[in-house]
């Protein structure tokens, strides 16, 4: 049953339901988004994203800052690269990583702001 059918059988807000059904997330897009958020739902990957929100770093620097092995950082960066969360550039024998675009940074900042609001209301 779609929202247009639902609005006929339960016409509480038919105009709002009709508008909402036009903007409804497709099952395929919802699945892709869930996969994206699921792959980001890892503390080490989030810590890497947090560091890269501050600027561009090489694997060794990331490993040092997060107290992780370089191989563990490289593994997480491969996943983030596959998700199109990070990009990289090579300089000599070093590879420097950065957040891919402003969308990733905006998403990161929105989650941080949400959590800060949440913790502020808990302390009041």
- pLDDT digit string (tens) for the chain, length 124 residues: 555 554 456 657 778 777 777 778 889 989 988 988 888 889 999 999 999 999 999 999 999 999 999 999 999 999 999 989 999 999 999 999 999 988 888 988 898 899 998 778 776 5
In the prediction, which pLDDT does 45 show? 94
In the prediction, which pLDDT does 7 show? 46
Cα 100 to chain centroid distance, Å, stands at 12
CB under 8 Å to 105, separation ≥6 — which residues?
Answer: 53, 99
The full set of domain ranges for the chain reads 31-123
CA distance 16 to 2: 14
* H or E element, residue 95: strand 94-99
**Exposure string for 25-64, b = 16+ CB within 10 A, e = fewer:** eeeeeeeeeeeeeeebeeeebebbbebbeeeebbbebbbe
Q: Does domain 31-123 have CATH number 1.10.10.10?
A: yes
Take residue 39 and report the two structure tokens written for it.
């792959």
In the prediction, which pLDDT does 123 show? 67
Q: In whole angstroms, how far apart are CA 6 and each of 2, 19, 27, 39?
A: 6, 13, 18, 34
In the prediction, which pLDDT does 15 show? 80
């Amino acid at each position: 049953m779609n929202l247009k059918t639902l609005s006929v059988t339960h016409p509480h807000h038919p105009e709002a339901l009709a508008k909402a059904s036009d903007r409804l997330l497709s099952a395929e897009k919802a699945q892709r988004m869930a996969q994206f958020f699921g792959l980001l739902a890892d503390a080490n990957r989030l810590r890497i994203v947090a560091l890269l929100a501050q600027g561009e770093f090489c694997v060794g620097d990331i490993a040092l800052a997060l107290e992780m092995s370089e191989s563990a950082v490289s593994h997480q960066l491969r996943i983030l690269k596959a998700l199109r969360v990070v990009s990289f550039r090579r300089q000599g024998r070093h590879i420097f990583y950065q957040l891919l675009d402003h969308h990733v940074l905006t998403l990161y900042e929105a989650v941080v702001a949400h959590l800060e609001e949440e913790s502020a209301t808990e302390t009041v």
